[in-house]
């Protein structure tokens, strides 16, 4: 599914242009920095100096979930549940606050809405949706 792969990868770049200024502007310290506690994994040193608000992982996970749910409406409930759980895991693991995660979901949804207004994205979406449908029909 080359078009789907490229489209999802480009969405990461699109997110960086949106979230980087916000993270720098708010520069909210992460929970494990301000309230030292265990995390689910040993945080990389750069993570402690990276802003917590909004959650970029949540934004991307939610954006991908929205796109994939539209491509596979019969699996939308499961895809959206996974997108929500991915964001929640950032809070559960102690690297984001609940408000970071909620803001990430808003950023992700806004990004998808903006992308859907782009004719190039819509064209890629149509091709990627066909790729996904064909792969699912073939049992891949």
Number of domains in the chain: 1
**Which CATH number is 101's domain given?**
1.20.144.10
From 57, 88, 124, 130, active-site residue: 57
Active-site residue 82, yes or no?
Answer: no
From 75, 90, 118, 140, active-site residue: 90
- The model's pTM: 0.93
| One-character DSSP codes across 27-50 | -PPPHHHHS----SS---HHHHTS
Domain membership of residue 73 (yes or no) is yes
Q: Render each residue's pLDDT in the chain as its tens digit; 140 residues.
A: 999 999 999 999 999 999 989 999 999 999 999 987 888 988 888 889 999 999 999 999 999 999 999 999 999 999 999 999 999 999 999 999 999 999 999 999 999 999 999 999 999 999 999 999 999 999 98
Active-site residue 74, yes or no?
Answer: no
Active-site residue 124, yes or no?
Answer: no
Residue pLDDT, tens place only, 94-121 = 999 999 999 999 999 999 999 999 999 9
* Residue-range definition of the domain harbouring residue 106: 2-18+53-137
The DSSP code for 75 is: G
Domain membership of residue 43 (yes or no) is no
From 14, 28, 100, 105, active-site residue: 100
Cα separation, 97 vs 123, in Å, equals 36
């Amino acid at each position: 599914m080359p078009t789907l792969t490229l489209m999802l990868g480009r969405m990461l770049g699109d997110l960086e242009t949106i979230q980087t200024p916000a993270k720098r502007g708010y520069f909210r310290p992460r929970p494990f920095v301000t309230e030292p506690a265990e995390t689910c994994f040993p945080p990389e040193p750069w993570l402690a100096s990276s802003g917590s608000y909004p959650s970029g992982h949540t934004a991307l996970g939610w954006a991908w979930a929205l796109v994939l749910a539209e491509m596979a409406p019969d699996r939308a409930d499961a895809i959206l549940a996974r997108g929500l759980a991915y964001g929640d895991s950032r809070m559960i693991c102690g690297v984001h606050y609940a408000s970071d995660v909620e803001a990430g979901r808003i950023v992700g949804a806004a990004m998808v809405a903006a992308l859907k207004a782009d004719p190039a994205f819509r064209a890629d979406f149509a091709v990627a949706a066909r790729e996904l449908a064909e792969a699912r029909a073939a049992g891949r």
